[in-house]
Amino acid sequence: MDGVAGMILSFIYGLIATVSFGVLFQAPKKVLVTAGFIGAVGWVTFSELHKTLGYDTFYASFYATIVISVISEIMARIQKKPAIVFNIPAIIPLVPGLGMYQGMRYIINNDFLAGGRVLLNAALDSGAIAFGIMLVAGIFRAYKIKSSEFYKKEEEETV
């Protein structure tokens, strides 16, 4: 399925997956709604880029993570909660846990070549996700340090 119907379907999948993992992580109900929405948007971005536009999983994960982190950081500022409580459930559909498991299973079954390839791919995708989160968090952090009183005071004292 593609087009609008596919997007709606992936939105629903992403929403249910993120909310159920939010419950696994004992998130309060207000956080569940926000995180579910963020995860759904991220999964739609990923599946549109990867399946419809044919991007590599590396780039698709990277761009989807950028979308997720930007919304998470903004919601964290609005709801006054750490960004990690929105981030972690929302990136669950993207993280290549399946690749790690499949790679390990190949290796246990003596297929080192396929195992190495799959594991390396999983590591690269994780790297893309981690880099996306760090990039956005770093930009928001630089803005916060620039405007916060505490760091200014500390800098003056140490200089």
Partner 1 sequence: MEQQNQMTRSEVMDLAMSIGQMFLKSGSETSRVEEAITRFCANHGYKDINVFATPTIIIIGDESTSNSNIVSRIRSRNTNSGMIIKAADLSYNFDRWNLDYSQGKAWIKKAMTEKQPYNDVVVALAAGLGSAVFSVMLGGNLHDFGGAFLIGSLARFTTKELNRYLEGVFWEVGLAGFLICLLSLVYCDIDHLATMERTIVGAIMPYLPGVAFTTGIRDYIAGELIAGNARIAEAILLAASIAVGIVFALRVWVWMGWPV
DSSP state of 52: I
Work out which of 89, 121, 136, 140 binds partner 1, going by CB under 8 A: 89
Over the Cα atoms of the chain, what is R_g? 18
CB nearer to partner 1: pick between 74 and 95: 95
Q: Are 96 and 121 a contacting pair, CB within 8 Å?
A: yes
22-81: contacts with partner 1 (CB under 8 A): 22-29, 31, 81
Q: Shortest distance, CB of residue 43 to partner 1, whole angstroms?
A: 8
Contacts 24+ apart (CB under 8 A), 67-72: 67/41, 67/42, 68/38, 68/39, 68/41, 68/42, 68/94, 68/132, 69/132, 69/133, 69/135, 69/136, 69/137, 70/136, 71/38, 71/41, 72/38
Contact map string, positions 101 to 130, toward partner 1, x by CB under 8 A: x-xxx-xxx------------xx--xx-xx
Q: How big is the site for partner 1, counted in residues (CB under 8 A)? A: 48
Work out which of 92, 118, 121, 140 binds partner 1, going by CB under 8 A: 92
* DSSP structure string for 52-85: IS---HHHHHHHHHHHHHHHHHHHHHHHTS-THH
Does residue 21 interact with partner 1 by CB under 8 A? Answer: yes
Q: Shortest distance, CB of residue 53 to partner 1, whole angstroms?
A: 18
Q: Shortest distance, CB of residue 4 to partner 1, whole angstroms?
A: 18
Q: Are 49 and 64 a contacting pair, CB within 8 Å?
A: yes
Catalog residues that contact partner 1 under the rule CB under 8 A.
13, 16-17, 19-29, 31, 81-82, 84-85, 88-89, 91-93, 95-98, 100-101, 103-105, 107-109, 122-123, 126-127, 129-131, 133-134, 150, 154, 157
